[in-house]
């Protein structure tokens, strides 16, 4: 097993960056009147997932790290909600929505595992 030296080594962080890319690609196709609504919110919330993972990893304590992972998990729920709204408004294709929903589910599970490991470590 390889050593984690940087947040960039975390698969959950890598997958969250992939999600950001997918969100930006999907929201690029949204109507221009959504630029300051769903587009902005979805982009900021998806970026927040990766940013909180990175910031938490850079903190000095497990408690701080866990707190930032909790915030990342909150952003996962936010993006899921915004994606549900976008889907109901037919702003993204079924395929795009499904792919992003799968990414969010996987990221959420990985954050849960990482959070549990932080609690178990002495």
Which domains does the chain carry?
Answer: 7-120 (1.20.1440.60)
Taking 80 as the threshold, does the pLDDT of residue 116 lie above it?
Answer: yes
Taking 90 as the threshold, does the pLDDT of residue 80 lie above it?
Answer: yes
Q: For all residues of the chain together, what is the average pLDDT?
A: 93
In angstroms, how far is CA 98 from the centroid of its own chain? 15
The string of pLDDT tens digits covering residues 12-47 is 999 999 999 999 999 999 999 988 899 999 999 999
The confidence score (pLDDT) of residue 119 equals 80
Taking 90 as the threshold, does the pLDDT of residue 2 lie above it?
Answer: no
Average pLDDT estimate for 84-101: 94
The string of pLDDT tens digits covering residues 53-74 is 999 999 878 899 999 999 999 9
Average pLDDT estimate for 89-103: 94
> Between the CA of residue 47 and those of 15, 26, 29, 94, 98, what are the distances in Å?
12, 14, 18, 22, 19
Four-point Cα dihedral 121, 108, 6, 47, nearest 10: -140
Task: Select from 91, 106, 110, 83 the least CA-distant residue to 10.
Answer: 110
The confidence score (pLDDT) of residue 60 equals 76
Taking 60 as the threshold, does the pLDDT of residue 1 lie above it?
Answer: no
**Burial class of 41 by CB neighbour count within 10 A (0 to 12, 13 to 18, 19+):** middle
The contacts of residue 30 (CB under 8 Å, 6+ apart) are 38, 39, 86, 91, 92
């Amino acid at each position: 097993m390889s050593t984690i030296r940087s947040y960039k080594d975390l698969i959950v962080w890598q997958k969250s960056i992939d999600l950001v890319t997918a969100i930006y690609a999907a929201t690029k196709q949204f109507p221009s009147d959504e630029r300051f609504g769903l587009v902005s919110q979805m982009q900021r919330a998806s970026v927040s997932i990766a940013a909180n993972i990175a910031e938490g990893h850079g903190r000095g304590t497990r408690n701080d790290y866990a707190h930032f992972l909790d915030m990342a998990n909150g952003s996962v729920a936010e993006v899921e909600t915004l994606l549900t709204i976008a889907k109901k408004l037919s702003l993204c294709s079924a395929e795009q929505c499904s792919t992003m929903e799968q990414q969010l589910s996987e990221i959420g599970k990985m954050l849960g595992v990482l959070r549990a490991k932080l609690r178990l470590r002495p």
